[in-house]
Amino acid sequence: MTRTLDRRGFLQGGLALGCSAAAFPLLSHATFASAPFDHRLVVVILRGAMDGLDVVRPVGDPAFRRWRPDLAATEGPALDGFWQLHPQLAGLAPLWAAGELGVVQAVSTPYRDQRSHFDGQDLLEAGTAMDTPQGLYRDGWLNRLLQGVPGAEAETAFAIGREALPILMGAAPAQRWAPNTAMRVSPQARRLLERLYEADAPFHVAAATALDLTETLEATEGANMMAASDAPAMAAPAPMADQPKPNPDIAAFARFAAERMREDTRIVALSLGGWDTHAGQVGAIRRPLANLQQLILDLRAGMGPVWSKTAFIAMTEFGRTVRQNGSQGTDHGTGGAMITAGGAIRGGKVLGRWPGLAEGDLYAGRDLMPTADVRGVAAWVLHALMGAERGRLEQTVFPGLDMGANPGLV
């Protein structure tokens, strides 16, 4: 059951007043959570197949620059003697140094060879294998996790954004929120709302409180976020020239998620698109990378001390080809990367068994060879942060999974 928090559900009869989303729980009678764990989890689906070899570059592999003469032409922050961060993510280098940013390379779902975004994303969010009978699992793996969490209520988990997130769909209650296009309420709209609920005392009081919050939101949210953040300031390396402008949707996503996770919400899921870089990848990948960096940095700033007990994991449906193509892009591949962040992770290192980029080491002679199941990495995060039992993770949350050895991410 997914409870939708958007402007359509705010008023009866489709009345659209543009109230702040911060006021919605007052009007929806949402029950606050009492989940038996105190850590926070942010799961981001990177739609379009992120090129993990471009985002975190294996410059120490002698074949890397040979396969990608154009894509590897620029230099980014060195993570160690082997790995280099994409220059667009230079703002995350201080998090790497602080142990709050990490990578798991050469991972994938069980999806192989068909290379359909739709099928790959379905498998990623369902958490199942390719041989799982179609239609057997109609819920997402995050929802199956919540189904076994005592005390989980609607406020425990939020799906954020304008599109559906199958990863959180299922029998367990969850909330959904999307940013409004208008945040201010005109005096006329306020009077109309007050009259609408005049005969209903509880809703009249709730509406008045909600509107008061809306009027003060813009004046106070910046101060609140500054006050909430105890994170030390970090001097970031100079970004690329002609940096993409901050994305207001990303700012809204991060602000709302940080507000909720400072309170009772424990899990947030959202997706970032734009990773399908078949042509002109040098330019095409910059905006999605800027969005990812902004999301991580805005969450860190907004969550304050809660960031120290947060794990952020970003995963994609599959990787991309090792060789750049004739359009200076990359095509659908297999092995890819998972990006991690947060104070609860053991960052500052690239995890995973590196298979190498020599021609004989590639999957099907074209792709990065997967050496780990991305579901297993996620399962170990759930085990460490939330106390989920290994048997339940392998049999219910990720049916048929063998978690293998602990990768040491958390």
Is residue 339 within 8 A of residue 313, CB to CB? The reply is: yes
> What's the rounded mean pLDDT across residues 269-281?
97
> What's the rounded mean pLDDT across residues 138-145?
94
Identify whether 73 is part of a domain. Answer: yes
Range of the domain at 61: 28-182+246-355+372-397
pLDDT at 18 over 60: no
pLDDT at 331 over 60: yes
pLDDT at 396 over 70: yes
State the Cα torsion 392-39-271-71 to the nearest 10°.
-100
**Two structure tokens written together for 264:** 């009772």
Q: What is the pLDDT of residue 203?
A: 55
Identify whether 265 is part of a domain. Answer: yes
Q: Count of domains in the chain?
A: 1
Is residue 372 within 8 A of residue 353, CB to CB? The reply is: yes
Specify the higher pLDDT residue, 376 or 240.
376
Identify whether 323 is part of a domain. Answer: yes
pLDDT at 16 over 50: no
Three-state SS sequence of the chain: CEEEECHHHCCHHHCCCCCCHHHHHHHHCCCCCCCCCCCEEEEEEECCCCCHHHHEECCCCCCHHHHCCCCCCCCCCECCCCCEECHHHHHHHHHHHCCCEEEEEEEECCCCCCCCHHHHHHHHHHCCCCCCCCCCCCCCHHHHHHHCCCCCCHHHEEEECCCCCHHHCCCCCEEEECCCCCCCCCHHHHHHHHHHCCCCHHHHHHHHHHHHHHHHHHHHHHHHHHHHCCCCCCCCCCCCCCCCCCCHHHHHHHHHHHHHHCCCCCEEEEEECCCCCCCCHHHHCHHHHHHHHHHHHHHHHHHHHHHHHEEEEEEECCCEECCCCCCCCCCECCCEEEEEECCCCCCCCEECCCCCCCHHHCECCCECCCCEEHHHHHHHHHHHHHCCCHHHHHHHHCCCCCCCCCCCCC
The amino acid present at 303, given as its one-letter code, is M
pLDDT at 43 over 90: yes
- What is the tens place of the pLDDT at every residue in 337-378? 999 999 999 999 999 999 999 999 999 999 999 999 999 999
Identify whether 252 is part of a domain. Answer: yes
Q: What is the pLDDT of residue 163?
A: 85
Q: What is the pLDDT of residue 200?
A: 62
Q: What is the pLDDT of residue 130?
A: 86
State the Cα torsion 392-401-161-385 to the nearest 10°.
50
Identify the CA nearest to 160 among candidates 291, 269, 250.
269
> In percent, how much of the chain has pLDDT > 90?
70
How many C-alpha atoms does 43 have within 13 Å on its Cβ side? 25
Q: What is the pLDDT of residue 155?
A: 85
> What's the rounded mean pLDDT across residues 400-410?
94
Q: Where residue 390 sits, what CATH number does that domain have?
A: 3.40.720.10
Identify whether 14 is part of a domain. Answer: no
Identify whether 16 is part of a domain. Answer: no
Q: How does the average pLDDT of the chain come out, rounded?
A: 83
Identify whether 260 is part of a domain. Answer: yes
- What is the tens place of the pLDDT at every residue in 209-222? 555 544 444 443 44
Identify whether 46 is part of a domain. Answer: yes
